[in-house]
Amino acid sequence: QVQLQESGPGMVKPSETLSLTCSVSGGSINNYYWSWIRQPPGKGLEWIGYIHSSGSTKYNSSLKSRVRISVDTSKNQFSLRLSSVTDADTAVYYCVKDRLGDADFDFWGRGALVTVSS
Amino acid sequence: EILMTQSPAILSVSPGERATLSCRASQSVSSNLAWYQLKPGQAPRLLIYGADTRATGIPARFSGSGSGTEFTLTISSLQSEDFAVYYCQQYNYWPRTFGQGTKVEIK
């Protein structure tokens, strides 16, 4: 069974860059799509973007100018960078396995709370 | 962007009773709809995809139905571990979007 674990700083200053890494265990990262999804406090879920193990990406247009997702197949990890953060980026960030790349999400991490605060 | 609207926001149900959750799409998403269960501190779980197909390992008491713009998740007999927040998600259009969730609480 695939397991995902988010890691990274729990607090980021406004205007700086949020960085998170997702470690995948129990299976290979190769040949699959991997997404980031976030949930601000008291709000719904928002899909941020995905990466395929080949390196191809797709981002939510609402965040596209600030987001970069990368993959390191040798480490079975993928990462999220979100630049120029504001209070509105405070959220629980989930790393997720895409079942097909354009459908639903079949495995999730437990999530990492990232707070934007000076 | 497709707007997904879930109702009710909160559903109070006694253990053993049936729970019916609704999800409406702002335009037809065919059968490209999934349901998830979220509990605090736990990894979210995929319950249903393709509107009515149970994901691997999901108990038969969970069932999904609907197509187009109207969808339903039914939990036939609520168990203690089923009290959680449930989200629907469409994947017919980019970006993939979620509803605001229905919290199923103990009555």
**In this prediction, what percent of chain B has a pLDDT beyond 70?**
100
pLDDT value at residue A99: 86
In this prediction, residues B69-95 reach a mean pLDDT of 96
Count the helix, strand and coil residues of chain B and give each as a percent rounded to the nearest 5. Answer: 5, 50, 50
Which residue, B106, B60, B57, is CA-closest to B83? Answer: B106
User: How close, in Å, is residue A13 to chain B by CA atoms?
Assistant: 25
Write the pLDDT tens digit of every residue in A56-115.
999 999 998 999 999 999 999 999 999 999 999 999 999 999 988 788 999 999 999 999
pLDDT reading at B38 higher than 90: yes
Q: Which two tokens stand for residue B15?
A: 């253990």
Query: Residue with structure tokens 């008291």?
Result: A42
Per-residue confidence at A20, pLDDT binned at 50, 70, 90?
very high
Q: Are A2 and A24 in contact (CB under 8 A)?
A: yes
In this prediction, residues B74-78 reach a mean pLDDT of 95
pLDDT value at residue A102: 81
Amino acid type, A55: G
Q: Are A47 and B96 in contact (CB under 8 A)?
A: yes
Residues of B in contact with A61 (CB under 8 A): 95
Strand-pairing partners, residue B104, are: B11
Q: Tell me, what DSSP letter sits at residue B55?
A: P
Instruction: Report the alpha-carbon distance of residue A99 to residue A106 in Å, rounded.
Output: 5
pLDDT value at residue B85: 97
Query: Which chain B residue has the Cα nearest residue A95?
Result: B43
Which residue, A101, A34, A10, is CA-closest to B94? Answer: A101
pLDDT value at residue A115: 98
pLDDT value at residue B39: 95
pLDDT value at residue A103: 86
pLDDT value at residue A101: 79
Per-residue confidence at A31, pLDDT binned at 50, 70, 90?
very high
Strand-pairing partners, residue A94, are: A37
User: How close, in Å, is residue B1 to chain A by CA atoms?
Assistant: 10
Instruction: Report the alpha-carbon distance of residue B74 to residue B76 in Å, rounded.
Output: 6
pLDDT value at residue B107: 87
Instruction: Report the alpha-carbon distance of residue B3 to residue B24 in Å, rounded.
Output: 8
Residues of B in contact with A26 (CB under 8 A): none
User: How close, in Å, is residue A100 to chain B by CA atoms?
Assistant: 11
Residues of A in contact with B44 (CB under 8 A): 94, 108
How many CB contacts within 8 angstroms connect chain A with chain B? 50
Range 43-62 of B in CB contact (< 8 A) with A: 43-46, 49, 55-56
Instruction: Report the alpha-carbon distance of residue A112 to residue A8 in Å, rounded.
Output: 8
Report how far Cα A97 is from the mean position of its chain's Cα atoms: 10
pLDDT value at residue B4: 97
Cα R_g (chain B), whole angstroms: 13
Instruction: Report the alpha-carbon distance of residue B107 to residue B104 in Å, rounded.
Output: 9
